[in-house]
Amino acid sequence: KTLAFPYGLVEGEPTFPLTEWDPARLERGLSGPAAQVATRGAMANAQTHCLQLPHLYLFAHLAQGGTVESADLAGFARRLLPGLEGLIAEAWQGLTTAEPSAQRKLAQQVRAQAGGSHALGDLKGLMFDDPDRFLTDLAMNLEVRAALTEFAQASPVDAQAISKLLAALRPYQQRTGFVDAYGGAVYEKMNRPLEQVDDPAIQTALQHFVDWRDPSVRQGVTQRLLDAMEAFAKRG
């Protein structure tokens, strides 16, 4: 009586709350030895399940014997918001595969659909709040991803680069209310480049991410880092 539980496969923990799309990683995670001997199926975890709909769909599809090639992401999106399935599926995939310019174009297209009258599919209950919230969250995810990629490529990492990143990231952070330590894409594309910035407040906040297991240090560290970045950008 065994159950496969590839912890962190749908969404790593702790990570900054961004919608993920990494089919190859899910496929690897569900084809390992533990999954092969599980007789009672598989289960997944997520810290922000309302943001991880594309991964939750793909996990269920793969766990039931499907493949990445046979997955129908647009078909799943149709059961959320029929009529917008093509755009939603392209936007989900573009989160990790598109270039920043394409991500921003997709964000504009998705954001333009918010505020309209939308038919709801039979899986409408998976959306957090309402279609406008879902669509705006998706658009903001695309914008944050674009900004992170450009920041990671910035040379030097100066006040202008930090200010441009904050313009996309800070409104999204405030929308989610996430303030604690994280790993994942934001850590790799923001924290690591910030290591080269000569600013005591930024460097102190970055060091606190190393001690994230201590609640007294972890809680509020994202807020402290963003505040330090904003202060540095204003001085620059």
**Would you say 23 and 191 are in contact if contact means Cβ atoms under 8 Å apart?**
no
How far is it, in rounded angstroms, from Cα 165 to Cα 139?
16
pLDDT of residue 40: 82
pLDDT of residue 38: 65
Q: Name which of 48, 44, 39 is nearest 58 in CA terms.
A: 44
Q: Name which of 119, 116, 93 is nearest 106 in CA terms.
A: 93
Tell me: the pLDDT tens digits for 58-67?
Answer: 999 999 999 9
pLDDT of residue 37: 63
**Would you say 76 and 127 are in contact if contact means Cβ atoms under 8 Å apart?**
no
Tell me: the pLDDT tens digits for 97-120?
Answer: 999 999 999 999 999 999 999 999
Tell me: the pLDDT tens digits for 55-91?
Answer: 999 999 999 999 999 999 999 999 999 999 999 999 9
pLDDT of residue 34: 60
How far is it, in rounded angstroms, from Cα 144 to Cα 167?
9
pLDDT of residue 162: 98
Q: Name which of 97, 75, 103, 121 is nearest 20 in CA terms.
A: 97
Q: Calculate the dihedral angle through the C-alpha atoms of 223, 224, 228, 230, rounding to the nearest 10 degrees.
A: 10
Name residues of the chain where pLDDT drops below 70.
Answer: 33-38
